């Protein structure tokens, strides 16, 4: 099941009385919208303020830098994968999980995240490593581990295949192909990755 904390931006009020969490939500939503529209390099604090219909000072009071603002916007907006699919076979479970991850990658916050990954320089990218790892990679690895454990119990997966190298393969491939090859990850591509990469890695010896 994919749950999302990405919600439609509140109605843009022109009243200066917006304060607290309402104003902060509007600013975070505006930051994500700007990332989707103009990318990391085109995003400015002024543009975010205009999108949120507030003053630039209101943005800087809460986030002293563009990096701080974008990191919080991504954390607040990224959908979460919270439950490992359980469809009765390792292949179908892996495929369903990959589809869920794909939905995250191509959701509005996911597009914003990929804009950051693609455009940041090395120093800037370090600022977002925790966001990327905590929001996408680590939850995916955890659920992959659950799928493999069930596969071991059913005899579909050999016990020594449930290791860090194997569970890293799916998020690594999806992030690499998305960044370096601009892959859209069609259903056919996901099936090929599972059938040609993951299942041979997992199959019991002699099977």
Q: What is the pLDDT of residues 141-165, one digit of tens each?
A: 999 999 999 999 999 999 999 899 9
In the chain, DSSP assigns E strands to 2-3, 80-81
82-202 CATH choice from 3.40.50.2300, 3.20.20.70, 1.10.357.10, 3.40.30.10? 1.10.357.10
Q: 1-5, 31-35, 57-61, 78-82: which has the minimum mean pLDDT?
A: 1-5
Mean pLDDT, range 75-80, rounded to an integer: 85
Helix axes 90-105, 138-154, angle to 10 degrees: 170
pLDDT at 76: 87
Does 2-77 match 82-202 in CATH topology? yes
9-28: pLDDT as tens digits = 444 444 455 678 899 999 99
How do the domains of the chain map onto residue ranges? 2-77, 82-202
Partner residues linked to 80 by β-bridges: 3
- Classified by CATH at the fold level, domain 2-77 comes out as Tetracycline Repressor; domain 2 (1.10.357)
* Consecutive H or E run containing 191: helix 187-193
Looking at per-residue confidence, does 152 or 101 come out higher? 152
């Amino acid at each position: 099941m994919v749950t999302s904390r990405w919600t439609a931006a509140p109605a843009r009020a022109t009243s200066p009385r917006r304060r607290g969490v309402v104003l902060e939500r509007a600013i975070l939503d505006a930051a994500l919208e700007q990332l989707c529209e103009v990318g990391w390099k085109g995003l400015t604090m002024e543009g975010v303020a205009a999108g949120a219909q507030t003053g630039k000072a209101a943005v800087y009071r809460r986030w002293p830098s563009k990096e701080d603002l974008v990191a919080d916007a991504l954390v607040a907006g990224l959908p979460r994968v919270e439950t490992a699919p359980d469809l009765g076979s390792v292949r179908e479970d892996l495929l369903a999980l990959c589809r869920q991850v794909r939905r995250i990658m191509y959701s509005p916050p996911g597009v914003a995240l990929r804009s950051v990954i693609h455009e940041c320089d090395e120093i800037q990218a370090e600022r977002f490593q925790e966001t990327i790892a905590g929001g996408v990679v680590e939850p995916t690895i955890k659920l992959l581990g659950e799928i493999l454990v069930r596969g071991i119990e059913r005899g579909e997966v050999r016990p020594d295949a449930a290791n860090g190298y194997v569970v890293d393969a799916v998020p690594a491939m999806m992030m690499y192909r998305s960044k370096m090859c601009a892959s859209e990850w069609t259903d056919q591509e996901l099936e090929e990755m599972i059938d040609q990469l993951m299942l041979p890695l997992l199959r019991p010896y002699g099977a």
